[in-house]
Chain A
Amino acid sequence: MLRKPGGTTVAEAVQRAETNLEGLQEAGWVQLDDGLAAMDKIFARYGDRFDGDLIAEHYGVAVRLIGLPSLCGLDALENAAHSLCDLLDRLSTTGRWDRDGVQVHIQALRLLRNLPPGADGVAEPVLDGLRKVRERHAIQSSN
């Protein structure tokens, strides 16, 4: 089917798809900010003890963020969102609670969301910090 006459070139198709995605950016920013606000509210509800239900709820919100930062050109924020999902999944599996580790992620998300253009140099140390949190929980991820 792919080989039928007509069609398009890879270059044209990819360019067209990328242009289409640019049209979603405005809505993407709104959903991204709503998602980050929801994460702040959930974090405010954590106590000092492991709460499996709240972590599951938090994971559900974090998973829905995936893809939005990238749509808005915020690759470092995308990595941080993945890192948070890794951490929440690990905490949920082990039953351990790491409030500081989650807090560092929430703060990183905010920082990376608000980085001014051209401030990419700030992102790497932030992501490195998140990597160290994941290493504490022996999480291997592709980020």
Chain B
Amino acid sequence: MALEATSKGRFNLEKATILMLDGNGMGMDILVQIVTGLGAKSLHRCQTVDEAKDVVKRNTIDLIIADALSPAGEGYEFVSWLRTDGGEPNAFAPVVVTAAHTPVSMVQKARDCGAHYIVKKPLTPVVMLERILWIARESRPFIECDAYVGPDRRHKNEGPPNGVPRRRDDLPPEVGDAQEPNLSQDQVDGLFSTRKVAL
């Protein structure tokens, strides 16, 4: 369900250290005004990937909001670098990538860079906050393999496509024989009805 802009739910970004990367001056200004409006106080503003890498090497970062830096897509490369060479704990930092437009040639790079979410511009405060809150509730495991480092790109548990081998930690497809007697219907019903328990 989408975040309601009028929600009275509370959150606290005051202690979060946020790195923002955007090569466009107005793009950075927009992002700063959104993030400070949401309550963040500790911000690192970077106009280039080199600046961002320098900040990552010297500081512990709680959240990274990096523009894709279209059309070359250097923002995606920065996120890939972060995941493989950013050092701990920053390599596992939450990352939101913002993108004005993703050319067809960059779609795979965008998908595989290791970001938690990609947000299409124009940015709005409610959407940015929603993504930050989604990240806070994140339950996807972190994947590290030769081809990809980042949060599991699967948002739904639909199993692998036909012909694609299963992952090491996926449950085996075969279900073995029962090792214990089945529950009786009364026992199953009992799982759904409230009852007093002596502690």
Could you list which residues of chain A lie within 8 angstroms of chain B, going by C-beta atoms?
A: 1-11, 13-14, 16-21, 23-24, 27-28, 31, 56, 59-60, 62-64, 66-71, 78, 82, 85-86, 89-90, 92-93, 142
Task: Give per-residue flags for B24-66: 1 if the beta carbon is below 8 A from chain A beta carbons, else 0.
Answer: 1011011001111111000000000000000000000010000
A residues less than 8 Å from B90 (CB atoms): none
Chief secondary structure at chain B's binding surface: loop
A residues less than 8 Å from B195 (CB atoms): none
Task: Give per-residue flags for B118-132: 1 if the beta carbon is below 8 A from chain A beta carbons, else 0.
Answer: 001111011001001
| A8 CA / B34 CA spacing, docked (Å) | 14
Point out the residue from B4, B101, B129 that lies within 8 Å of A89, measured CB to CB: B101
**Is B70 an interface position by the 8 A CB rule?**
yes
B33 in contact with A20 (CB, 8 Å): yes
B residues less than 8 Å from A13 (CB atoms): 11, 37-39, 125, 129
Contact status of A85 and B101, CB under 8 A, knowing A10-B3, A11-B5, A20-B37: yes
Closest A residue, CB atoms, query B36 = A20
B129 in contact with A14 (CB, 8 Å): yes
A residues less than 8 Å from B6 (CB atoms): 10-11
Contact status of A7 and B13, CB under 8 A, knowing A2-B136, A64-B24: yes
B15 in contact with A28 (CB, 8 Å): no
| A4 CA / B194 CA spacing, docked (Å) | 34
B13 in contact with A66 (CB, 8 Å): no
11 contacts between A and B (CB under 8 A): A2-B136, A4-B15, A7-B10, A10-B9, A13-B11, A13-B129, A17-B37, A21-B33, A21-B125, A60-B71, A63-B70
Point out the residue from B3, B37, B103 that lies within 8 Å of A16, measured CB to CB: B37
A24 in contact with B125 (CB, 8 Å): no
B178 to chain A, nearest CB (A): 42
Contact status of A71 and B11, CB under 8 A, knowing A13-B37, A31-B26, A66-B100: no
Point out the residue from A27, A28, A71, A89 that lies within 8 Å of B103, measured CB to CB: A89
B23 to chain A, nearest CB (A): 9
| A71 CA / B4 CA spacing, docked (Å) | 21
B13 to chain A, nearest CB (A): 7
Point out the residue from B8, B29, B36, B126 that lies within 8 Å of A9, measured CB to CB: B8
| A21 CA / B8 CA spacing, docked (Å) | 21
B34 to chain A, nearest CB (A): 5
B residues less than 8 Å from A31 (CB atoms): 26
Point out the residue from A7, A68, A78 that lies within 8 Å of B11, measured CB to CB: A7
B residues less than 8 Å from A62 (CB atoms): 101
Can you list the 9 inter-chain pairs with the closest CB atoms, starting with the nearest? A17-B37, A7-B12, A17-B125, A70-B122, A66-B100, A20-B33, A10-B7, A85-B101, A16-B37
From B5, B16, B26, residue with most partner A Cβ within 10 Å: B26
A66 to chain B, nearest CB (A): 4
B residues less than 8 Å from A68 (CB atoms): 26
Closest B residue, CB atoms, query A13 = B38
| A109 CA / B141 CA spacing, docked (Å) | 44
